[in-house]
Structure 1
Amino acid sequence: MQEPDRLIECSDFPELEFVEREATPEPAMKLGIQLHLAGLSLSDTVPVLEGLGVNRCRTTVQNWIQKADLQPAEGHDPNHVVVDETVIQVNDQRYWLYAAVDPDTNRLLHVRLYPTRTTALTEMFLAELKEKHLVDDALFLVDGAPWLQAACHHHGLRFQYNTHGNRNSVERVFKELKRRTNAFANHFSATPETAETWLQSFAVCWNQLI
């Protein structure tokens, strides 16, 4: 792992809009958020902050992530987009994490968490994706899921059935995300809204590290 002060110096992390209400210096908050999202557990993040003279508990670091409300940067113009979903467990309930990835850069373009997977929810996901990025001319790479293909058709998006090749990019993202959620005993002990905020923050960190 890089030295904590080097992470702060090299960071192009988004500005935190809530810092005026916090006693902790913004660089320390950014570092705590980054370290946790990049792979450290909350228990391992706290001692790093203590080494900087910032004594905070695990819940405080977790609250920073929620207050930051980070979102992947908008305005990308990809040639291809991979869309897929995977199961995420929140407490005792199964939810579906939808993700859109640019396979040429491996950047996460958009992520959302839904209680189920339907054509209507997939159409909603794609509508939000279109609002955030220039994807009307992109080729969407989808698997055989009928709701994905139907939603692309509804929005007039070009799509191609693909189970290998460029679609592996989203599988790599999901694999890393599964590795990270293993730190929470393979599930989130949180509300769906809290889990979704963490996942969107993870997307920001992922895009920085790739």
Structure 2
Amino acid sequence: MPEIARLKRSTGCFELDFVEREATPEWAMKLGIRLHLTGLSLSNTVSELERFGVDRCRSTVHNWVQKAGLQPTEGKSPDHVAVDETVIQIDDQRYWLYAAVDPDRNEFLHVKLGTAQNLGLSEIFLGELREKHDVSEAVFLVDGAQWLQEACRRHGLRFQHETHGNRNAIERLYKELKRRTDQFATHFRNLEPATAETWLLAQAFCQNQLI
């Protein structure tokens, strides 16, 4: 799979802060995380690790992804930020996935999973985004969602209503993130929303590494 080969070349793209508590070599954990995030099921990831003499179960690989705390790199200063939300299915529940994307670089800045589509969650999402990135001078590209526009006003952020153009970047990235979620549908059985959000943040990190 081309995505796996590309991400495997990024050997220094993330660090693991929990390795001192693990018996598995760090290189094996990083390989397992990369393989799973770029498309292999947990079972196939375990099989690949066995080829290197590393015998671990599926839940162990899942826990590595959770513990790694991967998410889009902080400290960016984009000129534009496209923000949107979309429905995402996790197990038998519907959630709202909020995302902020730098359309000029075609990369995720932040993602958040919520149980509703409203002003309160939109404000929280933009507040987290402001803590992670310098977006004070950015122009936010939003659609007709009034809650997103009002959240921008309350945070003192400049925005403009744009349906297509640069906002197409977020639609493309959403499509890929949904594809990955559908691919790992069985991975979400009886999964807590916070755990799913951690997994989605890791997927956003992974997608950014493949640009």
TM-score norm. by structure 1 comes to 0.93
Between the aligned partners of 1:23 and 1:33, the Cα distance in structure 2 is 16
Partner of 1:158: 158
Between the aligned partners of 1:186 and 1:81, the Cα distance in structure 2 is 33
Partner of 1:37: 37
Partner of 1:127: 127
CA RMSD of aligned residues (A): 2.0
Between the aligned partners of 1:75 and 1:10, the Cα distance in structure 2 is 20
Equivalences for residues 5-154 of structure 1 within 5 A:
10-154=10-154
Partner of 1:193: 194
Structure 1 residues 129-164: Cα deviation after superposition (integer angstroms, max 9, x where no partner) = 111101011010001111111111111111111111
Between the aligned partners of 1:60 and 1:166, the Cα distance in structure 2 is 40
Moved more, 184-193 or 164-173: 184-193
Moved more, 86-95 or 16-25: 86-95
Between the aligned partners of 1:92 and 1:107, the Cα distance in structure 2 is 29
Structure 1 residues 151-208: Cα deviation after superposition (integer angstroms, max 9, x where no partner) = 1111111111111111111111111111111123388221101100001111111111
Secondary structure (helix, strand or coil) at the match of 1:56 reads coil
Secondary structure (helix, strand or coil) at the match of 2:148 reads helix
Q: Are 1:107 and 1:206, in contact at CA under 8 Å, matched by a contact in 2?
A: yes
Q: Are 1:90 and 1:187, in contact at CA under 8 Å, matched by a contact in 2?
A: no
Give the share of equivalent positions with the same residue, in percent.
Answer: 66
Unaligned runs of 5+ in 1: none
Structure 1 residues 72-105: Cα deviation after superposition (integer angstroms, max 9, x where no partner) = 2111000000001111222222111110000011
Distance 1:174 1:187, change over 3 A: farther
Q: Are 2:82 and 2:141, in contact at CA under 8 Å, matched by a contact in 1?
A: yes
TM-score norm. by structure 2 comes to 0.93
Between the aligned partners of 1:6 and 1:164, the Cα distance in structure 2 is 30
Asked whether 1:202 is paired with 2:207, we answer: no
